[in-house]
Every structure is written in structure tokens, then in C-alpha cells.
């Protein structure tokens, strides 16, 4: 698990610096045997469940241990900022408000960096995980997995399942095959998407719905 502080000029000050940092880190992890592939957790302030998971030591350690030497998982470490929030103080008929702790880059700015780097459509909303592969300082493959659960425990289990499926698919890759980046990415994509589908099917088994509804749901899943 690799947090990136986005108000740190040593990491990046603009989109190009961010991309350079990301690709260099991935190249270093490939070369040192620290990772076979990579992931990026993308979220914003509208997704507090993800932020809480990443700030909780037990959740963080579980994900860090699970990803191990197979998957380096990046995420932006969000600083504590607040928009002004007003509320009436009934005791003396005045208004209280919370002000920003800034100045910091806005969440939308850094998430724009990610969307531009991975060529993601602007209307694709957080939170999601990008699984990706690099070679020769270039992003060669990537795919997205939407994170749908809003309750903290369920959101953690959802994230954990995706990472576990990815790791399980490549943990038996032989050392002499670690540079077969294309094949490694294919294994991960296949395993994660298959895991998504199985979860979807299990969720539908216990729902008393009509055949037409079931077919419609299956079609929507693949669109």
C-alpha cells in the first residue's frame, strides 16, 4: 500500500510530475521484485467509507499484507479540509461555521490527474480501483472496477475481495516469467472480472425476481 500526499512538491506539482513519479515507482518495484502489477484506489470526499478504510490501521494492514510482493496499491492520502459549513447557534441567535484548513489542491484536481493519465472518461464517478500494468515507463494495460458499497465494513470486504482475486491469480507466476507483463495483466483482469460476476450472481440467487428482470440485470452488468 503506497500513499501519495498530494500537497508534497517532492512527489509532484502537476500532472506530468505525478505521472513521472508513478511510472518511476512502478519501474523500481518491477526491478526490485516488489510487485508484478499495480492498482490505484480512486476516491474523493463524497466517499468517506474509503477514506476511513485507508486511515484505519487494521484495515490498512490487512490490505497491505494481502497485496504483499505481488501488487503495489497506490492511493492519494487526503488532507483534512472542510468547506465552510454553517449551522445556527440557537443559544445566542448567531451562526457558527467551519473554515478550510487549506491551501490544498482540491480532490477533483488530483483525480483529474488520474483520469488523464489512465484516459478515463470524466463522467466516471469515484470510488473505483484501477488495475494496471507498466513497461518501459509506459502504462501498457489498465481496467477499472467500480466500488459500490457505502457501508465501511462491506466496502472493505469489497475492496479486499478485488485485491485478493488479483493477487491469487498471479501468486504462482514463476520468477522467470515475471517480465511477461501482458500475460500477468490478463490473469488479473480475468480473475477480478470473474470474481465480480460471481458476486453479482450470488446476490441475485436469493432475490425473488422474474426471468425478464434477471435477463435485464445481466445485460446491465455487462454494459
pLDDT at 81 over 80: no
Highest mean pLDDT among 19-33, 106-120, 122-136: 19-33
Rg of the chain over Cα atoms, rounded to whole angstroms, equals 20
Using 50, 70 and 90 to split pLDDT, how confident is the model at 123? Answer: confident
Q: What separation, in Å, do the N-terminal and C-terminal C-alpha atoms of the chain show?
A: 31
Using 50, 70 and 90 to split pLDDT, how confident is the model at 218? Answer: very low
Please tell me whether residue 145 adopts helix, strand or coil conformation: strand
For residue 219, what are the CA distances in angstroms to 91, 111, 195, 211? 56, 29, 17, 12
d(CA 82, CA 31): 40
**Stretch 27-53: mean pLDDT, rounded?**
93
The backbone region for 165, taken as left when phi is positive above 0, alpha when psi lies in -120 to 50, beta otherwise, is: alpha
**Stretch 172-195: mean pLDDT, rounded?**
93
Record the cell numbers describing residue 65, joined without a space: 499484507
Q: Answer whether 136's CB lies under 8 Å from 181's CB.
A: no
Q: Which candidate, 3, 75, 11, places its Cα nearest to that of 44?
A: 75
**Stretch 41-47: mean pLDDT, rounded?**
88
Cβ-Cβ contacts under 8 Å for 77 (sequence gap 6 or more): 3, 4, 5, 6, 54
Whole-prediction pTM value? 0.75
Q: Which candidate, 166, 161, 123, 165, places its Cα nearest to that of 141?
A: 166
Record the cell numbers describing residue 36, joined without a space: 508484478
Record the cell numbers describing residue 209, joined without a space: 425476481
Amino acid at each position: 500500500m503506497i500513499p501519495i500526499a498530494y500537497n508534497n512538491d517532492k512527489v509532484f506539482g502537476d500532472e506530468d510530475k505525478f505521472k513521472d513519479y508513478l511510472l518511476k515507482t512502478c519501474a523500481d518495484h518491477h526491478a526490485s521484485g516488489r510487485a508484478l502489477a499495480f492498482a490505484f484506489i480512486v476516491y474523493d470526499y463524497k466517499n468517506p467509507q474509503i477514506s476511513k478504510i485507508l486511515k484505519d490501521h487494521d484495515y490498512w494492514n490487512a490490505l497491505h499484507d494481502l497485496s504483499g510482493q505481488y501488487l503495489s496499491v497506490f492511493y492519494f492520502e487526503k488532507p483534512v479540509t472542510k468547506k465552510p459549513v454553517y449551522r445556527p447557534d440557537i443559544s445566542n441567535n448567531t451562526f457558527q461555521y467551519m473554515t478550510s484548513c487549506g491551501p490544498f489542491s482540491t480532490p477533483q484536481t488530483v483525480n483529474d490527474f488520474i483520469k488523464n493519465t489512465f484516459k478515463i472518461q470524466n463522467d466516471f464517478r469515484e470510488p473505483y480501483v484501477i488495475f494496471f500494468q507498466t513497461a518501459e515507463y509506459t502504462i501498457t494495460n489498465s481496467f477499472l472496477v467500480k466500488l459500490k458499497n457505502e457501508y465501511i465494513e462491506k466496502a472493505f470486504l469489497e475492496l479486499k475481495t478485488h485485491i485478493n482475486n488479483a493477487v491469487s491469480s498471479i501468486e504462482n507466476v514463476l520468477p522467470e516469467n515475471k517480465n511477461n507483463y501482458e500475460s500477468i495483466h490478463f490473469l488479473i483482469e480475468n480473475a477480478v472480472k470473474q470474481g465480480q460476476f460471481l458476486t453479482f450472481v450470488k446476490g441475485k440467487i436469493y432475490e425473488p425476481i422474474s426471468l425478464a428482470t434477471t435477463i435485464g440485470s445481466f445485460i446491465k452488468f455487462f454494459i
